[in-house]
A and B are shown apart, each in its own frame.
Chain A
Amino acid sequence: MTNPNPVSGSPDKEPATEAQESLSEARATPTQPAGDTEQTVPATATAKRPAPAGESRPGMGRMFLDNLWAANTVTVTVLAVLLAMVVGAVLIIVSDPEVLATYSYITARPSDALNASWTVVSEAYANLFKGAIFDPDAVGFTAVMSPISETLTYAAPLVFTGLSVALAFRGGLFNIGAQGQATIAVILAAVAGFALPLPPVVHLLVALIAGALGGALWGFIPGILKARAGAHEVINTIMLNYVAVYFLSWIIVQNGVQNPNRSDAISKPVDSTAQLPRLLGDDLRVHAGILLAVAATWFIAWLLNRSTLGFELRAVGANPDAARTAGISVTKTYVLVMVLAGMLAGLGGSTMVLGTTATALTPLVIAQIGFDGILVALLGRVKPWGVLLAALLFGALQAGGNRMQSYSGISLELVTVLQALIVIFIAAPALVKTIFQLRAARAARLQTSLAKGW
C-alpha cells in the first residue's frame, strides 16, 4: 500500500497491459486466455487508501484479493456486465406474464416463483451463451464453429466504428457521426460493387476505397466546420447522420440503383468479385472483414502511440491551448482526426455490404453500427485493443441474442438493453464501487477529456 496513485491519469498514459485487460469476458474472445484477467489485476490495480491499522505487511495472496476487490478496470468491467445481466434478468421476469403470475402467491409458495424465474432467465442466458460462443450439443465442424463465426461477423464492423469513435475521442472530439459516415460509405461501396465491371481483387479494393472515401467526406464536413467556424461537432455529426439516412433512402429507389426485379426499396446486389472472401467455407458467415478489423486496430494503435500525428492528436485532445502553444496546428489536427475517423467508420459500413451481412442496399442495411460503435469505444476505454475486445463482446451479445430470440422467444432488444446498461455502469465506476463496496483504486473513469459542453 505504499503506492499512492495519481487520481487523474492523463489520457496519454497507456500501459501496454491495459490494452489487454479491459475485458474480462474471456469467453467472448478466442484470442484471450482465461487466466489473463487475474494476471493483469495486480499490475494495474493499486489502492489509494492506507491500510487499516494493525496490518503491517500483507502477504501476496492477501494483496491479490485486495486488488481483486478494488475498483480497477477489469473488476469494474466484470461487475458492470454482471449488473447489466441482473437488470436484464429482472426485465425478463417482469415481462413474462406466466412467471409474474407465480409472484402473486409468493408468500404462500415462494419456491414456485423462484423456480419459474430461474428457469426462464437461465434458459435465456444459456441460449445467449450457446449462440455466441459454444453449443455443447453441436455436432460437426460447421455447427461447432457457427457461434464463433456469427460473433466475429457481427464484431467486424463494430471494431471499425468503435475505432472511429475512439480515435476522435483521443483527439478531443466526439464523433456521433459514425452512423452517417458508415451510411454514405455503404452507398458508395455498394454502387462501386455493382456498377463497375472490374476483375476480382481490384474490384474489392476499389469498393473498399470508395467506401472509405465516402466516410472520409462525411467526417471532413464536421471537421472543417469545427476548425473554421467553431461549430460543435456533436451537433453537426448528429445532423449529418440524418442527412445520410435520407440520402440513402432516396438513392435506393433511383433508376440504375434499385433492383429492377423488385418493387421494394432494395438495390442491385453487389457483384461476387467485390465481396470479401469467406474464411471458413461457404456455410459459415465469417469473412475477411474481421482480419481487416484486426489490421486496422493494429494500425490505429501504432498511429496513436508511435507516430508524430498520433502524438499531436493526443496533445490536442488533452489540451488544445497547450498544443497550439507548442506549435501544433489545432485546426489541421481536428480536420485530420475527423477525416480518419470517417474513413474508419466508412470501412465499417463497407464491410456490411461487401461482407456476408447483406449483399444489397436497404434502408436499414447498416443497422446500428455507428451508435453501437460509441458504446464499443466507451467500453474499450477508447484504446484500440480495448475497442477490439469490446467489439467482440458486443458481437457475441448480438450473435447470442439472435439465438435467444429464436429459441427462448426473448426479444433481441434485450441485447440493446444489456449493451447500454454495461456502458452506463462502466461510465460511472463510482456507482459500481458503491454497490459492491469496492475499495478505491486507480479510477477507471473514462479518459475522454470531453467536459466542454457545446
Chain B
Amino acid sequence: MSTTAVPEVAVTAVDEGFWTRNRKIGVVLLALGVLAAVLFGALATDQHARFTLSETEGGAALEINGTVGAILFGLITAAAGGALLAGVPKRWFALLLGAGLVAFVLSFLCWQVSAAPEGRNFMPLVNVVRGTFILALPLIFGALAGVLCERSGVVNVAIEGQLLMGAFSGALFGSMSGSVWVGLVAAAIGGAFISFLLAVFSIRYLVDQVVMGIVLNLLAVGITGFLYERLMQTDAAKYNSAPRFGNWEIPLLSDIPLIGPALFRGNIFLYLGLLLVLVIHLALFRTRWGLRTRSVGEHPTAADTLGVKVLRLRYRNVILAGLVAGVGGASYTLALYSFTKNMIGGKGFIALAALIFGRWSPTGALLAALFFGFADQLATYLGAIGSSIPSQFLAMLPYLATILAVAGLVGKVRAPAADGKPYIKG
C-alpha cells in the first residue's frame, strides 16, 4: 500500500508575518467593497429596488433607492474588509467575512433590480428562497451521500451516478406501479445499486476509488440512457409517467411570513432533506456509530485494533449513502419532472463541491448546497429580468468558489485522513 503524501508546500508559510490569511482576505473584501460602491453605485439607477415578501410585485416589500443601496452595501463590505485588515480577534473572522459577502451580494442586487426595466424591477423573495431550496435539494442529498461515504474513508465521486440511477428507477418503477411510495423505495434501491458496486470494487477488489467513481458515473449514464431510449421513449405512458408527491402544508409554520410559504409548503423531499441533515449530523457526532465511522475514516488501523469492523462499517455506510442519493434523484422524477437522458447534468459534481466546500460535515454541506442553489436561482432570476450579466458566469460561481476553497484561500480544507485509502487488514 503506497500511501504517498501530497506535499503541502507553502501551506504553512501563508500565516507568517503581517500578511496573515485574515488580512489577505480583508484586502480582497475591501477591494470588492470599493468596487461595489463605485461600480454598482454608478450603474444603479435612482429607481427603487423592491424586495417583495411575496411571490408577486404587490404586498409588503423592503425598498431602497438603487444608487443609495448599492453604495451603502458596498461600503459595508469595505468596512468588513477594513476591520479584517486592521486585525480583529480571530473569533470575529467568520462573522465579518459573512457580513461582507452578504453585503456585497445585496449591493449587486440593488444595482440589478433597480436597473431592470419598468414592471420587472422587483425581486420576489418568496420565490427566491423557495427556488434556492428546490435547486439545492439534489445537492443536499448528494452531499449527504458524500459525507456518509467519505467520513468512513471511501471517496464518493459517483454521486452523479447515484442521483441519476435514483431518478431513473424512481421514474420507472413509480410509473409501472403507479405508486409514489414504490417509486421512492425503488429510487433509493437504484442509488444503492451504484454505491453497492462502488463498495464492492473499492473495498473488496481495491480498485482506486476515484477511478471507480468516474467509471460508475459513465455506467449510470449509459444504462439509464439506454433504457430510457428503449423503454421510456417508446412507451412514455407506461414507463415514464410517474405519479408525483404533492405539496404538504405544515400548519402554523406555513403562516410565517416569507419563510412559511417558501419552506413549509414544500414536498416530502424538502422536509426529508432537512431532516436528514439533522439526523446525520446528530448521528455522526453524538452516537457510537458516528464515532466509529469517523474513526474508520481517520485511522482505520486504530479503529480495527479497538474492535471496530472496518470493512463491514464501510460497506454499510457506502450503501447507506447510495440510498440517500437515490432519494435525492427521486426528488426530480417523483416531484418535478419526468425522466430525461442525463437529467442530473453535473449536479452530482456540484454536490461533491458542496461536500468539500462544507468541509465534510452535514451542516457545512447544507450551507454550501444552499449557497450553490442561491447562485443557480440568481442566474435564473437575472435571466428573467433581462440582466446584462451573462447567466453562464453566475453558473460558474459554485465551481470557482470550490477551487478557491481547496486552494486554501477560504480556510484550510481537510479531508478525513483515510479518505480514498483502501484498508487491508494486516
Chain A residue nearest in CB terms to B417: A453
Asked if A108 is an interface residue, CB under 8 A from chain B, the answer is no
**Residue among B4, B235, B349, B402 with most chain A CB within 10 A:** B4
Question: How distant is A298 from chain B, measured CB to nearest CB, in Å?
Answer: 26
Q: Once bound together, how far apart are the Cα atoms of A324 and B419, in whole Å?
A: 24
CB-CB under 8 A from A421, the residues of chain B are 219
- Verify B2–A454 contact, CB threshold 8 A: no
A452 touches which of B3, B205, B219, B407 (Cβ 8 Å): B3
Partner of A321 from the list B5, B219, B350, B422 (CB cut-off 8 Å) is B5
State A419–B353 Cα separation when bound (angstroms). Answer: 27
Contact A238 B208 (CB under 8 A): no
Name the B residues within 8 Å of A243 (CB-CB): 396, 399-400
Q: Is B384 an interface residue (CB 8 A)?
A: no
What does the 1/0 interface line of A226-256 toward B look like (CB < 8 Å)? 1111111011101110110111011000000
The answer on a CB contact under 8 Å between B399 and A240 is yes
B392, A250: Cβ atoms closer than 8 Å: yes
Does the CB pair B399–A239 fall under 8 Å? Answer: yes
Of B132-140, B220-228, B267-275, B308-316, the one contacting chain A is: B220-228
Pair A449/B211 contact, Cβ less than 8 Å:
no
Which residues of the partner chain A approach B346 to less than 8 Å between Cβ atoms?
242, 245
Complex CA–CA separation, A450 to B422 (angstroms)? 11
Q: Which residue on A lies nearest to B350, using beta carbons?
A: A242
Are B7 and A230 touching (Cβ within 8 A)?
A: yes
Shortest CB distance A114–B (Å) = 20
Q: Which of B8-16, B70-78, B282-290 contacts A (4 or more CB under 8 A)?
A: B8-16
Contact A91 B226 (CB under 8 A): yes
The reply to whether B392 and A428 contact each other, CB–CB distance below 8 Å, is no
B420 touches A453 (CB 8 A): yes
The smallest beta-carbon distance between B19 and chain A, in angstroms, is: 15
Q: Verify B393–A229 contact, CB threshold 8 A.
A: no
Interface residue? A39 (CB, 8 A)? no
Q: What is the number of residues of chain A that contact chain B, defined by CB distance less than 8 Å?
A: 64
The reply to whether the CB of A416 lies closer than 8 angstroms to some CB of chain B is yes
Q: Hey, which chain A residues are within 8 Å of B399, CB to CB?
A: 239-240, 242-243
Query: Which of A144-152, A187-195, A276-284, A371-379 interfaces with chain B?
Result: A371-379
Residues of B close to A97: CB separation below 8 A: 235
Q: Which partner residue on chain B sits nearest A226 by CB separation?
A: B6
* B-to-A contact residues, CB < 8 Å: 1-11, 150, 155, 157, 197, 201, 205, 207-212, 214-216, 218-219, 221-223, 225-231, 235, 341, 346, 349-350, 352-353, 356, 390, 392-393, 395-396, 399-400, 402-403, 406-408, 415, 418-422
Which of A's residues lie within 8 Å of B, judged by CB?
91, 95-97, 172, 174, 176, 225-232, 234-236, 238-240, 242-243, 245-247, 249-250, 318-321, 324, 330-331, 371, 374-375, 378, 410-411, 413-421, 423-424, 427-428, 430-431, 446, 448-454
A-B contact pairs, 6 of them (CB 8 A): A374-B214, A413-B228, A427-B201, A446-B207, A450-B210, A452-B421
